[in-house]
A and B are shown apart, each in its own frame.
Chain A
Amino acid sequence: MLLIDCPFCGAREEHEFHYGGQAHVIRPEDPEQVDNKTWAEYKYYRKNTMGLQAERWQHSFGCGQWFNALRCSQTHQFKAIYKMGEAPPEGLK
């Protein structure tokens, strides 16, 4: 079970958190103007990275806040945690 460092509460057990999938998926500015493929990619296509990936997590049974994280899909270890709206830390990507 992972120990996750919530940026608001500190390190907490994994079962307090909710996994939100890939981070930095951007909703098209005007959905009506994009073609079916672009919309489907936004809605359904996700990376399946082996190694470091950017993810969203929510401290759902805690402060309720969402945050971003860089985590290794092979070792499951967190490498960085950063707030919503922020870009992934340089040098890790």
Chain B
Amino acid sequence: MSNMNSRLNNGGLIDRSQQISFTFNNKAYFGVPGDTLASALLANGVDLIGRSFKLHRPRGIMAAGVEECNAYLQVGSGDRHTTNVNATQIEIYEGLTAKSVHCWPSVEHDIGALVGAFSRLLPSGFYYKTFMWPAKFWHLYEHAIRSSAGLGKAPETEDIDTYEYRYDHFDLVIVGSGPAGLMAARQAAPSGANILLVEQDFRFGGSLLADTAMINNQPAADWAKHTLDELKGFKNVTLLPRTTLTGYYDGNFLTALERVTDHLPVNVRRSGIARERLWKIRAGKVILATGSIERPLVFGNNDRPGVMLASGARTYLNRYGVQPGQKAVIFTNNDTAYEVATELQQKGVTVEALIDIRQNPPQAMSKLASSHNIKVLTGCAVHNVLGKKKVKGVEVASLTAQNTLGSDNLRINCDLVVQSSGWTPTVHLFSQAGGKLLFDEEQLCLRPDPTTISQQLLSVGSCNGNFSLTDALREGAQAAHQALLDCSFESTESSWPKASESLPCTPQALWRVPGRKQNIKRFVDLHNDVSSSDIELANREGYRSVEHLKRYTATGMGPDQGRTSNINALAILAEEQNRSIPSVGTTRFRPPYTPISFGAVAGRRVGELFQVRRKSSLYEAHEEAGAVFEPAGLWMRPDYYPAAGETREQAVLRECRGVRESVGIFDASSLGKLDIQGPDALKLLNMLYANGWNTLKSGACRYGVMLKEDGFIFDDGVTACLGENHYHMTTTTGNAETVYSWIEEWLQCEWLDWDVYVTPVTTQWAAISIAGPKARDLLNKVGTDIDLSTEAFPHMQFREGTVADIPARVFRISFTGEHSYEINVPSSYAPALWQALMKAGENLGITPFGLEAIHRLRAEKGYIAVGLETDGTVTPYDLGMSWAVGKKKADFLGKRSLSLPDLSRTGRRQLVGLLTDTPEYVIPEGAQIRLESTTQPRSQGHVTSSYMSSTLNRSMALAMLENGLERHGEKVTLHIDGKTVAAQVTKPLFYDEDGGLLNA
């Protein structure tokens, strides 16, 4: 099998002087430059390429282009392992290794093929129907199902390659370099417009590369090469081969995937050169010249290796110099296959017969066939293909007027079935761009309706439903002329060369060839193993909409996206429902046109570059202190500072004790900070916060909660009055940007005439918090010109001065419940201040503490954390914070909603403390408190914060409990992992109830 017995001695766009070695399923073969993996395999006589997705039926190569639906292979191994590679689209290179997917132990002897024997038991929806009940056993089935399904194996090692983006702008983007696209580029080039010509193949020319037609009295492929050479002379024309235009988005925004290194032998791929480049293009005008795809016919065992599209056979023959078989039967419902039949015959493939569904094909066709000694059987159909791993022959019968099979039966031996059912324009990009499709009754296809498109695009040639070569050249030239004028470029009158006349197509519909046996498999979607009976079944079971059909049967899904199956599936569904095809409708095509690797989507944003990381100016100081960091939003913040040999829990408990017993030091720099100035600043604060601000004097601070208009808490923080009409607002770390843009939205959209300015100053100021009974001693020791006596500087006040000779704003505020100061200094001074404080605090037992410790300390004090105690459905009243609501204020954001029935009803969940009966047990956060007293137990609350407390020497928790404010002292139960946990409801306050420590 592996001798190159199928390669013709001459012809084609290949270089026979060189050999390229590659392996397929661990066997060595040779190809030549110019080959795809598919053409090289065919040249080596490899028919069996893989097993089908669901039924594990043997499959061969069916097409030569992007529409190939069987030859999805795994290429490479280890860190260069790629799945879902279409053999018709990858160029061979020295050392290429490829393998079949979903077959085991080998493609020849596949255990899974036993499934095929039971295919009557595996109709559409089989897995849903069989394995979803009883639902609790799904986890047992799932593993077995998943391992027998899927396209190839996921790579096990990290991808060694890099990927990148490129952004660009073009006046004109032309997609496809067949006759229409090349002509458009040639017409537009002299204008000087910035032009991009995109071609998914490695060679420009599209259908011209396999066409035997003449253009300007030269062979089509020569004209393509000549035109390309001319285009290379224009500096304003960018030629981009090996690039698939995968997405067409609003505003003529395009994405294109360029395969940069996949065609190179692995040892010459250089590191630093991206494997794939994802282009993001904004185009002035787009010309779609994406061509068309031949449709297969639906007949018995039409999936056998050796059944091929006529366009595929033609391409292997003319472009790659490969005979796709020795003895062929042609099966068609239209004219275009006749030309392919004559070419096969001329190049040494014996055409045993041409079977035409049509009773009376055009006379010119009969003449053409007879002039090449091809026997034509009209009004007949191939109803069965013989052979399993390779076509051995076909069974042919005549068709009656009702399109049923006659009683005659003719067996013809052959190893190749060449089929055609007409052409389907490649309208995917047009559809992605928002255009709608029309059904063309004559060509039996969906083509673009140009009146439905609002983007700057033109479809030309066969993707526009005009299949003749002359039309393609004419439309390409005319569209380029029009596009240039639309983009305000000069354009000379359009002109195009003369081409030999194309055969008309004139297909006759026969969407399903009847079978002799009822259970014969007639495939519609080979890629997903969907046969006509699956579509019939789906329709019977009520999946009548085309969208439902797609999801139930999987037709049109997967990497191949139904390029060969969509129209046939649609037509069969329409027949089943006795409706017209247009009335059944079509699914809208969505990007990407062909699969894109995750690598290309990610680009450079992997590893360290995956996400921005924000670090405070104290980051290095924390590193030196041995901090373990925790992401908080985008910030990297110290979680705890373990001493040698300490666990996280030990470190956190020590840090908490340090704060409660002496003094702790904490980096609060990431808190959001806003500078608010202007005559209307006070008015703004009164609207933003629920509480009142009129009495706040210069030098004082106040805590406030912000509500959204729905009445629910959205942020909280302390704001200080720095002077007349000047305030310093703090927000939570996570909401710094959100609060700022929220305020801007109100000022810009609602309160346009308010005279107030808000400036985010979060990173201008670093904030170091020192907290604990020795905080004042520490501040005195490090040196400050601020009078720290309780009388001069009480709790909730602000002073400006110097600390350790550094200009500072000192806020006497506390989130730990201890006497504490938050010292704000310009960010660049923070490391010096930290160092000075650490040094001064040496004898005071200064303890750096992290996020976990501060959370425990604030929970002991019952201070809420936005995002833990609040979840977007919590009002200040729910938290027992009616003191933070200015009920007498005329208005503030969210005020009106607080009196809506649902927000003011009884039975809402309210903040409580919980103490478990077992003091050492820490309840997991999120645990539900169960209501036991009813016959239908339900949740009556949930735990929001829960910790082991060093201060209490036991566990404690905060929770939201129905009517919780009135239930202190009650016993509740929680159910955790099947166990019952009893706890007592308490006040949400476990430490320094009267606030004496704060005010000392």
Beta-carbon nearest neighbor of A43 in chain B: B709
Contacts of B649 in A (CB 8 A): none
Q: A31-B891, A40-B900, A84-B749 are in contact. Are A1 and B250 (CB under 8 A)?
A: yes
B282 at the interface (CB under 8 A from A): yes
**Across the interface, which residues of A come within 8 angstroms of B741, CB to CB?**
18, 58, 60, 64
Chain B positions 760-779 with a Cβ under 8 Å from a chain A Cβ: none
Contact with A along B972-987 (1 / 0, CB 8 A): 0000000000000000
User: Is A84 in contact with B752, judged by CB distance below 8 angstroms?
Assistant: yes
Whether A3 and B251, one on each chain, are in contact in the complex, defined by CB atoms closer than 8 angstroms, is yes
B401 interface contact, C-beta 8 A = no
Q: Is A10 an interface residue (CB 8 A)?
A: no
B889-904 vs A, CB cutoff 8 Å, 1 = contact: the mask equals 0110001110011000
B454–A77 CB distance below 8 A: yes
In the complex, residue of chain A having the shortest beta-carbon distance to the beta carbon of B748: A66
Q: Mark A1-42, 1 if CB is under 8 A from B, else 0.
A: 111000000000010001010000001101110101001100
Contact A39–B896 (Cβ < 8 Å): yes
| Cα-based distance from A31 to B707 in the complex (angstroms) | 15
Expressed in whole angstroms, the Cα–Cα distance for A43 and B899 within the complex equals 14
Q: How far is the CA of A86 from the CA of B895 in the complex (A)?
A: 28
Query: Which chain A residues lie closer than 8 Å to B895 at the CB level?
Result: 31-32
Contact B454–A43 (Cβ < 8 Å) = no
Give min CB distance, A10 to chain B, whole Å.
14
Across the interface, which residues of B come within 8 angstroms of A20, CB to CB? 745, 749
Which residues of chain B are near A66, meaning CB under 8 Å? 744-745, 748-749
**Closest-CB distance, A90 to chain B (whole angstroms):** 21
Contacts of A43 in B (CB 8 A): 709-710, 897
Contacts of B717 in A (CB 8 A): none
Q: Tell me the residues in window 49-93 of chain A with beta carbons closer than 8 Å to chain B beta carbons.
A: 56, 58, 60, 64-66, 75-77, 84-85
**In the assembled complex, B442 has its CB within 8 A of some CB on chain A:** no
Assuming the contacts A27-B750, A56-B749, A77-B454, asked whether A39 and B900 have C-beta atoms less than 8 A apart, the reply is: yes
Q: How far is the CA of A34 from the CA of B709 in the complex (A)?
A: 14
Within B234-253, which residues are at the interface with A (CB < 8 Å)? Answer: 249-251, 253
Minimum distance in angstroms from A34 CB to a CB of chain B = 7
Asked if A64 contacts B744 (CB within 8 A), the reply is yes
Nearest opposing residue in chain A for B752, CB measure: A85
A75's closest neighbor in chain B, by CB?
A: B454
Q: Does B434 contact A (CB under 8 A)?
A: yes
Complex Cα gap A84–B910 (Å): 40
- Which residues of chain B are near A39, meaning CB under 8 Å? 896-897, 900
- In the complex, which residues of chain A have a beta carbon less than 8 angstroms from the beta carbon of B748? 58, 65-66, 84
Q: Is the CB of B282 within 8 A of A3?
A: yes
Cα(A40)–Cα(B748), bound, Å: 23
A64 to B750, CA, bound (A): 16
- Write the B725-753 contact mask toward A (1 if CB under 8 angstroms, else 0): 00000000000000001001100111010
CA distance A76 to B434 in the complex (A): 10
Which A residues touch B749, using CB under 8 A?
A: 20, 56, 66, 84
- Residues of B841-899 at the interface with A, using a CB-CB cut-off of 8 Å, are 890-891, 895-897
- With A1-B249, A84-B749 already in contact, the answer to whether A34 and B896 are too (CB < 8 A) is yes
B896: which A residues are within 8 A, CB to CB? 28, 31-32, 34, 39
Which chain A residue has the least Cβ–Cβ distance from B452?
A: A75
Chain B residues in 8 Å Cβ range of A32: 890-891, 895-896
In the bound assembly, the distance between CA atoms of A39 and B710 in angstroms comes to 10
CB distance B253 to A1 under 8 Å?
yes
Q: Is the CB of A2 within 8 A of B250?
A: yes
What's the Cα separation between A39 and B898 when bound, in Å? 11
Nearest A residue (CB) for B455: A75
Collect the chain B residues with CB atoms within 8 Å of residue A85's CB: 752
Task: Name the CB-closest residue of A to B892.
Answer: A31
Do the beta carbons of B251 and A2 come within 8 Å of each other?
Answer: yes
Q: How far is the CB of A81 from chain B (nearest CB, A)?
A: 14
Residues of B within 8 A of A30 (CB): 890-891
On chain B, the residues within 8 Å of A76 by CB distance are 250, 434
Shortest CB-to-CB span from B157 to chain A, Å, is 33
Give the Cβ gap from A80 to chain B, nearest Cβ, in Å: 16
Residue of B with least CB distance to A78: B251
- A40 nearest in chain B by CB position: B900
Chain A nearest CB, measured from B450 CB (Å): 14
User: In this complex, what residue of B is CB-closest to A65?
Assistant: B748
Minimum CB–CB distance for A35 against chain B, Å: 10
A66, B744: Cα distance in complex, Å: 9
Residues of chain A within 8 A of B750, CB atoms compared = 27
Contacts of B752 in A (CB 8 A): 84-85
Interface centre among A27, A30, A32 (most CB of B within 10 A): A27
In angstroms, Cα B253 to Cα A14, docked, is 11
For B750, the closest partner residue in chain A by CB is: A27
- Chain A residue, CB-CB nearest to B255: A1
| Chain B, residue nearest A18 (CB) | B741
Residues of A within 8 A of B709 (CB): 43
CB neighbours (8 Å) of A58 from chain B are 741, 744-745, 748
Q: How many angstroms between the C-alpha atoms of A64 and B741 in the bound complex?
A: 8
The distance from the CB of B850 to the nearest CB of chain A, in whole angstroms, is 32
**Taking CB as reference atom, which chain A residue is nearest B249?**
A1
- Scan B781-805; emit 1 where CB is below 8 A from any A CB, else 0: 0000000000000000000000000
Given contacts A1-B251, A3-B251, contact A36 B454 (CB under 8 A): no
Residues of A within 8 A of B251 (CB): 1-3, 14
Q: Which residues of B are found within 8 Å of A77, using beta-carbon distances?
A: 454
Q: How many Å lie between the Cα of A31 and that of B893 in the bound state?
A: 10
Taken together as a complex, chains A and B put the C-alpha atoms of A32 and B898 apart, in Å, by 11
When chains A and B are docked, how far (Å) is the Cα of A20 from the Cα of B897?
21
- Closest residue of chain A to B895 (Cβ to Cβ) is A31
Q: How far is the CB of B712 from chain A (nearest CB, A)?
A: 12
Which one, B710, B744, B901, contacts A36 given CB within 8 A?
B901
A28: chain B residues at CB < 8 Å are 896
Q: Cβ of B890: which chain A residues have Cβ within 8 Å of it? A: 30, 32
* Alpha-carbon gap, A34 to B896, bound state (A): 9
Nearest-neighbour CB distance to chain B for A13, whole angstroms, equals: 8
Separation in Å of the A7 CB from the closest CB of chain B? 12
Query: In the bound complex, how far is the Cα of B454 from the Cα of A39, in angstroms?
Result: 39
- Within the complex, what minimum Cβ distance (angstroms) separates B983 from chain A? 37
Per-position contact with A for B710-727: 1 when CB-CB < 8 Å, else 0? Answer: 100000000000000000
Chain A proximity mask over B250-284: 1 for CB below 8 Å, otherwise 0 = 11010000000000000000000000000000100
Residues of chain B in range 888-934 having any CB-CB distance to chain A below 8 Å: 890-891, 895-897, 900-901
Cα-based distance from A84 to B434 in the complex (angstroms): 31
Which residue of the partner chain B has the closest CB to A64?
B744
Cα A14 to Cα B280 in complex, Å, equals 13
* Cα A39 to Cα B895 with chains together (Å): 11
Closest 8 CB pairs of A and B: A31-B896, A75-B454, A1-B253, A3-B251, A66-B748, A76-B250, A2-B250, A2-B251
12 contacts across the A-B interface (CB closer than 8 A) = A1-B253, A14-B250, A18-B741, A20-B745, A20-B749, A27-B750, A32-B895, A36-B900, A39-B900, A75-B434, A76-B250, A84-B752
Interface residues of B (CB under 8 A from A): 249-251, 253, 282, 434, 454, 709-710, 741, 744-745, 748-750, 752, 890-891, 895-897, 900-901
Known: A14-B250, A66-B749, A77-B454. 5 other contacts (CB 8 A): A1-B249, A20-B745, A32-B891, A56-B749, A64-B744
